[in-house]
Amino acid sequence: MSSEDLARTTEPRRPVDSRVPSRTGGPAGPVRASKDLARTTEPRRPVDSRVPSRTGGPAGPVRASEDLARTTEPRRPVDSRAPSRTGGPAGPVRASNDCDVVIAGGGPAGSAAAIWCARHGLRTVLLETQSFPRDRPGESLHPGVEPLFRQLGVERAEEAAGFPRYRGHWVSWGGPWRFEEFGSDSTGPWLGIQAWRATLDSILLEAARGAGVEVLQPCRALAPMREGKRIVGVSSEAGEIRARFTIDATGSRHWLSRKAGLPTRRASPRLIATYGYCAGDPDVFGEEPVLEGNGTGWVWIAPVRPALCAWTRLRFNHPDRHPPPSLRDMQPTGPTRGADVTWRIVDACAGDGYYVAGDAASVIDPASSHGVLKALMSGILAADLIARVHGGSLPESAAGEAFREWTAGWFRRDTKRLAELYAQIDRTDLRRSGPGGRVRLRP
Ligand SMILES: Cc1cc2nc3c(=O)[nH]c(=O)nc-3n(C[C@H](O)[C@H](O)[C@H](O)COP(=O)(O)OP(=O)(O)OC[C@H]3O[C@@H](n4cnc5c(N)ncnc54)[C@H](O)[C@@H]3O)c2cc1C
């Protein structure tokens, strides 16, 4: 890898970072932010030249993705509840004890990393502790995920899933309601995706299987294996798996950080998001999500499936377990859940023999709106750097440094943007919320 390539990889001002528009659009509004995205993604490519632009990237990787898509079309329902290596019949899970890359976690970060590793000819094992399909919050996906889906070869399966699309969202951020679009280009408006995560995550994991990844599921990563300072694999419920590289993609519980004593740096007071789902008359809602922020925090409501709304709230002072008042005529479909969304980062997110991707590396509260986008990109980036190190074109230390810088840059810009946004509503008059504090669905 040339230094120019490395510069492209490490260049801090990339579209895959926090210049991707936030859910709130950023201080100057989402259209400008979206244009920024277009400017930066189209000609220059995110992360490196093999990660796609909005228009699909160069001929090589797109063709490869299409080939993969053909082989990973949903040939059978994805249900891996039986413990298995491949998603087939039940049986004792035993791991191959030697591979190039072992990945803990089969969410978007882990599956994206696995697909990318396999595509580069790396023998890859992925451990996922839960049976799929399994629930996960985080349905509202930024349009920037679409070219990534193409590159990962899941575009057709994702389209076949029929996830609703949306042009933007209604927002009242301490002021009047307005509609914020993602933006558009010559092909038309950019559309976000309301992806049911149980389905999306199954599609991604299935694509990893289709690409040749050995998936052990359900199978928990227990502890990292070490030789001196180097991490040399994972001790798991399926036994010990030695690997030249280990990727932690276990999400916000930070498996590797806890087990290997990597410090997690907090950049906000403790923040707990509450979330849940309500069913009811779909006519009450338009097609677009709504976001209302005021001095106490914010509420996000999104129609994610027919007659089903997801809601997420963040109160700055204390969590609120109640569904938003505007959903009072709808029926909760389950309990209110909570998630620690305190802004935090594992600064040492790459080191001797390991990478930490997705939420496992950094968490920012969901107002940033691109947790899944970041997870996919960081998984791909970790895998891409590993492939280069494995192929001998990049020193391991340079790859680790590139990954740490990329992760830190994204985190720095996202937290700066969110801090500015929250400063706008901190002194807001709550009465602006409208009659009875209801979240109005249309202005
Ligand atoms: C309330 C809420 C709302 C959100 N809304 C949005 C949104 O609208 N849009 C958006 O883009 N993002 C949103 N997010 C963020 C988004 O959910 C995350 O950023 C995204 O899921 C991160 O993906 P990941 O692959 O890093 O981790 P995860 O999706 O958490 O996947 C981690 C996987 O690792 C597995 N695992 C854990 N421990 C082990 C182990 N020891 N061994 C093996 N496997 C293990 C888990 O079972 C899981 O499947 C939201 C988050 C919250 C909390």
What mean pLDDT comes out for the span 2-6? 36
- Going from the Cα of 105 to the center of ligand 1, the distance in angstroms, rounded, reads 9
Residue 101: the pLDDT is 98
Task: Give the list of residues 6+ apart from residue 55 with CB closer than 8 angstroms, or none.
Answer: 42, 147, 187
Residue 212: the pLDDT is 97
Q: Is residue 165 part of a domain?
A: yes
What mean pLDDT comes out for the span 261-271? 94
Q: Is residue 208 part of a domain?
A: yes
- Going from the Cα of 107 to the center of ligand 1, the distance in angstroms, rounded, reads 6
How many structural domains is the chain composed of? 1
Residue of higher predicted confidence among 400 and 62:
400
Residue 282: the pLDDT is 62
What mean pLDDT comes out for the span 214-229? 97
Residue 95: the pLDDT is 52
Q: Is the CB of 312 under 6 A from ligand 1?
A: yes
Band (92; pLDDT cuts 50, 70, 90): very low
Residue 316: the pLDDT is 87
User: 203 and 78 in contact (C-beta within 8 Å)?
Assistant: yes
What mean pLDDT comes out for the span 33-60? 28
Q: Is the CB of 127 under 6 A from ligand 1?
A: yes
What are the pLDDT digits (tens) for 122-160? 999 999 999 999 999 999 999 999 999 999 999 999 999
CA dist 193 and 87 (Å) reads 27
CA dist 9 and 185 (Å) reads 26
Residue 218: the pLDDT is 97
Residue 93: the pLDDT is 46
Band (358; pLDDT cuts 50, 70, 90): very high
Most confident of 20-24, 101-105, 312-316: 101-105
Band (54; pLDDT cuts 50, 70, 90): very low
Round the CA-based radius of gyration of the chain to a whole number and report it: 21
**Structural domain span for residue 424:** 35-268+343-428
Q: Is the CB of 107 under 6 A from ligand 1?
A: yes
Poorest-pLDDT segment among 75-84, 94-103, 250-259: 75-84
Residue of higher predicted confidence among 53 and 283:
283
H-helix or E-strand containing 160? helix 155-160
- Going from the Cα of 291 to the center of ligand 1, the distance in angstroms, rounded, reads 21
Share of residues in the chain with pLDDT > 90 (%): 65
Residue nearest to atom 3 of ligand 1 (CA): 138
For residue 366, the domain's CATH number is: 3.50.50.60
Select from 81, 127, 129, 346 the residue to mutate for testing ligand 1; criterion: most ligand atoms less than 8 Å from CB. Answer: 129
Atom of ligand 1 nearest to the CA of 255: 41
What mean pLDDT comes out for the span 63-84? 30
Residue 24: the pLDDT is 40
Q: Is the CB of 158 under 6 A from ligand 1?
A: no
- Going from the Cα of 250 to the center of ligand 1, the distance in angstroms, rounded, reads 8
Q: Is the CB of 259 under 6 A from ligand 1?
A: no
Residue 281: the pLDDT is 76
H-helix or E-strand containing 38? helix 30-41
Q: Is residue 352 part of a domain?
A: yes
Residue 284: the pLDDT is 64
What mean pLDDT comes out for the span 406-422? 94
- State pTM to two decimals: 0.81
What are the pLDDT digits (tens) for 390-409? 999 999 999 999 999 999 99
Q: Is residue 408 part of a domain?
A: yes
User: 365 and 341 in contact (C-beta within 8 Å)?
Assistant: yes
Q: Is residue 323 part of a domain?
A: no
Q: Is residue 439 part of a domain?
A: no
- Going from the Cα of 82 to the center of ligand 1, the distance in angstroms, rounded, reads 22
In the predicted structure, residue 351 carries a pLDDT above the cut 50: yes
Q: Is the CB of 273 under 6 A from ligand 1?
A: yes
Q: Is residue 278 part of a domain?
A: no
What mean pLDDT comes out for the span 291-304? 92
The mean predicted confidence, pLDDT, of the chain is 79
Q: Is the CB of 220 under 6 A from ligand 1?
A: yes
Share of residues in the chain with pLDDT > 70 (%): 73
Residue of higher predicted confidence among 73 and 267:
267
In the predicted structure, residue 224 carries a pLDDT above the cut 90: yes
Residue of higher predicted confidence among 118 and 9:
118
Q: Is the CB of 369 under 6 A from ligand 1?
A: yes
In the predicted structure, residue 434 carries a pLDDT above the cut 80: no
Band (328; pLDDT cuts 50, 70, 90): confident
Poorest-pLDDT segment among 114-128, 212-226, 259-273, 279-293: 279-293
Q: Is residue 177 part of a domain?
A: yes
In the predicted structure, residue 83 carries a pLDDT above the cut 50: no
Select from 250, 300, 311, 365 the residue to mutate for testing ligand 1; criterion: most ligand atoms less than 8 Å from CB. Answer: 250
Residue 372: the pLDDT is 97
In the predicted structure, residue 361 carries a pLDDT above the cut 50: yes
Atom of ligand 1 nearest to the CA of 105: 34
Poorest-pLDDT segment among 32-36, 307-311, 315-319: 32-36
Residue nearest to atom 30 of ligand 1 (CA): 251
Residue of higher predicted confidence among 331 and 96:
331
Which residue bears the tokens 């209110």? 336
Task: Give the list of residues 6+ apart from residue 245 with CB closer than 8 angstroms, or none.
Answer: 100, 101, 102, 353, 354, 355, 386, 389, 390
Q: Is the CB of 120 under 6 A from ligand 1?
A: no
Q: Is the CB of 140 under 6 A from ligand 1?
A: yes
Q: Pick left, alpha or beta for residue 214 (phi over 0 → left; psi -120 to 50 → alpha; otherwise beta).
A: beta
DSSP string, 178-196: EEEE--EETTEE--EEE--
Instruction: Give the distance, in angstroms, between the CA of residue 249 and the centroid of all CA atoms in the same chain.
Output: 10
What mean pLDDT comes out for the span 167-179? 93
Q: Is the CB of 363 under 6 A from ligand 1?
A: no
Residue nearest to atom 14 of ligand 1 (CA): 138
Q: Is the CB of 379 under 6 A from ligand 1?
A: no
